[in-house]
A and B are shown apart, each in its own frame.
Chain A
Amino acid sequence: MHISEGICSPPVLAAGMVIAAAGAAYGMKKIDTESIPKVGVLSSAFFVASLIHVPIGPTSVHLVLNGLMGLLLGWAAFPAIMIALLLQGVLFQYGGLTSLGVNTVNMALPAVICCCLFRGMIRGGDIKKTALAGFACGFVSLTLSIAFVALTLLLTQKGFLVTVQVVLAAHIPVMVIEGIVTAFALVFLKKVKPEILEVGT
């Protein structure tokens, strides 16, 4: 999911940077002093989630958690994801500095989209509805992210379209797991600290 350095063409990288910078700037404006710890915690969660590979069966998976971030942070997901990706790039060479913009957009834009789509569903006190929204959010945001990555690659190298469906199909288990984890996290938060779920985009 992290696009490495030297893959995308300069126009794609530049476009990614511009969109990411705009999103991050807008997100920063939305953050008030009280919500900074929340942004930090979720940024850390995102940072750690993609580094820890859980071996399941013959392969291993890692969580992305961008759906959860979108629901809890709204536009603030942009700066949160950008910081985490920057550190992953600098410390571990996951992704890269030039592709930071593209990677941020690919992860954070689905988060914001999911926030707009599913925020209404978690407003009420209905636990089942919250769980459903959580699952859908995790599933859809990861699906969108993978589709965005595929699209980014398509803009650079043609002939990738055939593999897009294969890649999407291969990630279905991860999407389902992501959805379940997001659902559990949301239900837990709803029970323990419901006020954290009240976010403006």
Chain B
Amino acid sequence: MRTKRIVKPCLGMFLLLLATAVPSTPAQAHKVMVFAYQEGGTVYTDGYFADGKKAQDSLVEVFEADGAKLLEGKTDGNGLFSFPVPDVPEIRIVLTASMGHRAECTLKKESDAAATDAVKKDTPAAVPQDAAAVGEDRIRAIVSEELDRKIGPLAREVALLHQEKGPSLTDIIGGIGYIIGIMGLLMYFKARRRE
């Protein structure tokens, strides 16, 4: 009995040591998700696993709605990847992590983003002829720049809120219920056949 009492804590310590000794074990056994949002003239994609770990160094491919590939890249250490908003109405973003994990999401071009783009293109070419028109253009550019700066963190927060979370306890319990139900059905049919 005494040896048993020592063995269990030792085992626990061993497990803990083992787990901490492997600092960057890729959490590849989990589901991967990708989330994209648009801010200013840039699309930001965020790749992460169901347990909250970031999908580092994963391939991100961006497709047009009809399937033509627009661009591709790799996520950084924080699972992030960004690229300028392409000039198409809708893009499909596909993230491929290791061990056969893949996630995708679609992003529609926001209408105001087009306006921002247009304004940004306009600003450098500010060689004024008509004073009033220039004033309006410049004000628009400044306002949109300021708005971007102010709304940026907010937009990021909203994006975070939209992120999928892993399954909740209710989901899991519901799944167990399904399994019990299926087994009940199986039992019913097996029992009927025997009669």
Query: Chain A 60-76 against B: per-residue CB contact (8 Å), 1 yes, 0 no?
Result: 11101000000000000
Complex CA gap A43/B187 in Å reads 15
Any chain A CB within 8 A of the CB of B25? yes
- Of B16, B30, B179, which contacts A56 at CB under 8 A? B16
Any chain B CB within 8 A of the CB of A57? yes
Among the listed stretches A80-88, A113-121, A189-197, which one makes contact with chain B, having 4 or more residues with CB under 8 Å of it? A80-88
Q: Please, how many residues of chain B have a CB less than 8 angstroms from a CB on the other chain?
A: 45
Complex CA gap A65/B102 in Å reads 24
Which residues of chain A are within 8 angstroms of B15 by Cβ–Cβ distance? 56, 177, 180
Interface residues on A, range: 35 or more
Which residues of chain B are within 8 angstroms of A1 by Cβ–Cβ distance? 28-29, 99
Complex CA gap A96/B191 in Å reads 32
Complex CA gap A171/B186 in Å reads 36
Query: Chain B 165-184 against A: per-residue CB contact (8 Å), 1 yes, 0 no?
Result: 01100011011101110110
Residues 140-160 of A at the B interface (beta carbon under 8 Å):
149-150, 152-153
Which residues of chain B are within 8 angstroms of A167 by Cβ–Cβ distance? 26, 28, 98-99
Complex CA gap A93/B33 in Å reads 10
CB atoms of A149 and B100 under 8 A apart: yes
Complex CA gap A119/B87 in Å reads 61
Complex CA gap A64/B29 in Å reads 10
Interface centre among A47, A51, A177 (most CB of B within 10 A): A51
B16 CB → nearest A CB, Å: 7
CB atoms of A4 and B101 under 8 A apart: yes
Interface centre among B20, B27, B183 (most CB of A within 10 A): B183
- Of B27, B166, B178, B191, which contacts A87 at CB under 8 A? B178
Interface of B toward A, CB cutoff 8 Å:
11, 15-16, 18-20, 22-32, 50-51, 53, 96, 98-104, 166-167, 171-172, 174-176, 178-180, 182-183, 186-187, 190-191, 194
The 4 closest A-B pairs by CB, nearest first: A40-B183, A3-B100, A56-B19, A57-B20
Interface of A toward B, CB cutoff 8 Å:
1-8, 31-33, 36-37, 39-40, 43-44, 47-48, 50-53, 55-62, 64, 83-84, 87-88, 91-94, 149-150, 152-153, 163, 167, 170-174, 176-177, 180
